[in-house]
Amino acid sequence: MRFFEDSSIGIKISPITTVIIALSLILIVIFAWLGIFNWLFT
């Protein structure tokens, strides 16, 4: 029962947190690729 209660709480919180995590990961990937290209071509 506790597992379902925790999952329901996670579902209530998840939309905002998933958007923030997704945006942060996308920014990290973009900056990582830019850093790699700058390191290769300079």
Stated pTM of the model: 0.51
Report the alpha-carbon distance of residue 35 to residue 22 in Å, rounded: 20
What does the pLDDT read at residue 29?
95
What does the pLDDT read at residue 3?
55
pLDDT digits (tens, 9 = 90+) for 1-42: 455 566 665 566 677 888 899 999 999 999 999 998 888 887
Residue 1's alpha-carbon distances to 4, 9, 11, 14, in angstroms, are 5, 13, 15, 20
What does the pLDDT read at residue 38?
85
